[in-house]
Amino acid sequence: MKKPVQLEVNGKPAAGVAEPRTHLADFLREHLHLTGTHIGCEHGVCGACTVWLDGAPARSCINFAVACDGASVRTIEGFDDDAVMAQLREAFAAEHALQCGYCTPGMLMTARDIVLRLPDADEARIRKELAGNLCRCTGYVGIVRAIANVLKSWHSSNG
């Protein structure tokens, strides 16, 4: 039986009804038409579906929409005005950190988490933190470099 789901998505209220088995990624994509969140493995391994959930990164494919009722969700569409994400977008472009772009929304979520949570991360730590986001075409060199560049510039100008 379908159940009501009320969320705050990208700063605005979003309501719908969903079967309990509908995971958050499908709810975002199919019900709210926010298709920037990508679905890869659908069992929590690849990281493509990573979104910001109640202020922290989370897998939207293994969190059910009904269980997120009342939560605040921020998808890739909701970061247009985010200062860290603006720097990451530029750095990803400059360092050739995306090719097909499938993993990119999830990569950017994890990248933002690294920049804000781990100001002292070196390359090894960036790679470890990125282990939960799989890229199958571009390779990680450019992604790691882009994140390292933003880490450096963000923390030299903010603190």
Partner 1 sequence: MKPAPFDYVRPDDVPAAIRALADGDVIAKVIAGGQSLGPALNLRLAQPERLVDIRRIGALGEVTETADSVLFGACITHAAIEDGRVPDATGGFMQRVAMDIAYRAVRTRGTIGGSLSHADPAADWISALTLLSAVVVIEGPEGRREVGIEDFVTGPFDTQLGPADILVGVRIPRLSARARWSYYKFCRKPGEFAEAIAAVLFDQNRGISRAVIGATNGAPHVIAQADFLTKGFDAAQAHAAVDASGAGDDPYERQVHFAALQRAASQLAAVQA
Nearest to 88 by CA among 73, 76, 102, 100: 76
Angle at 138 between CA 133 and CA 139, to 5 degrees: 60
Nearest to 97 by CA among 27, 31, 144: 144
Residues of this chain, 77-136, that bind partner 1 according to CB under 8 A = 109-110, 113, 117, 128-129, 131-133
- 59 near partner 1, rule: CB under 8 A: yes
Stretch that binds partner 1, among 15-23, 73-81, 93-101, 147-155 (CB under 8 A): 15-23
Q: Which is nearer to partner 1, 43 or 157 (CB)?
A: 43
What sections of the chain are H helices per DSSP? 24-26, 83-94, 104-117, 123-129, 141-157
Q: Which is nearer to partner 1, 10 or 133 (CB)?
A: 133
Q: Beta 12-18 vs 3-9: how paired, if at all?
A: antiparallel
Q: Which is nearer to partner 1, 14 or 118 (CB)?
A: 118
When binding is defined by CB under 8 A, the residue of 37, 63, 87, 138 that contacts partner 1 is 63
Q: Which is nearer to partner 1, 8 or 113 (CB)?
A: 113
